[in-house]
Amino acid sequence: MRAGATGNKNKNILTMTTRLFSSARLAITLALLIFCAARIDAAAATDPTATDPKVLEQKSQQFVAALIDGNYDAVAPMIAAEANLSKERFIEFGAAVKEGLGKFRSLSQASTDTAGDGTTKAVYLCDFEGGQARLALTFSSDDKIQLMAFKPVQ
């Protein structure tokens, strides 16, 4: 009878060990799922802002107003390092635009296009006292201005 009792005891230990490992695996799996879900939620919380046309329009309007006023410091945090736009070039370009087109009035969005690399190109029509200009800004995936193209409309 002792052998049968030992066999049952071993079977009970094996069952408890299996349950324990199953519970541990379940706990680890749940922890990983929660971690991954939190990372996905964090990424989702940042991505829409970068491509939201209204947010880009506000940033673009701030950028043009600062450009015309020669206020580089107001928009320096918005400019990506790879843009290679120094304070001097920014102020010089803004002064030339102001001299050629006058006071900045408004900005209206023409289009927005997001590329596969995470950049977003936003194209606007800018109204000035002396005419209009087409402004294209390319925003990096971290929401900074990488490229700028500015062309007066005839």
**Fold for domain 52-153?**
Nuclear Transport Factor 2; Chain: A, (3.10.450)
How many secondary structure helices (H) and strands (E) does the chain include? 4, 4
Question: Which stretches of 22-103 are assigned E, i.e. beta strand?
Answer: none
- Looking at residue 40, what is its pLDDT? 35
Residue 33 belongs to what H/E stretch?
A: helix 2-51
Which residue is associated with the tokens 């410091």? 73
Q: Are 136 and 107 in contact (CB under 8 A)?
A: no
Question: Which tens digits make up the pLDDT trace of 19-54?
Answer: 544 554 444 443 433 443 333 333 434 444 556 778
**pTM assigned to the model:** 0.64
Question: Starting at the edge strand that comes first in sequence, how are the strands of the sheet with 104-114 ordered?
Answer: 104-114, 120-128, 131-139, 145-153
Strands 145-153 and 131-139, how do they pair? Answer: antiparallel
Residue with tokens 């194209």: 123
In terms of residues, how long is the chain?
154
Q: pLDDT (tens digit, 0 to 9) for every residue of the chain, 154 residues total?
A: 555 556 666 666 555 555 544 554 444 443 433 443 333 333 434 444 556 778 888 888 999 999 999 999 999 999 998 888 899 999 999 999 999 999 999 998 878 888 888 899 999 999 999 999 999 999 998 889 999 998 999 7
Q: What share of the chain is helix, strand, coil (3-state, %, to 5)?
A: 60, 25, 15
Cβ–Cβ under 8 Å, residues 59 and 51:
no
Domain boundaries, the chain: 1-50, 52-153
Q: Which two tokens stand for residue 21?
A: 């490992």
- pLDDT given for residue 84 in this prediction: 85
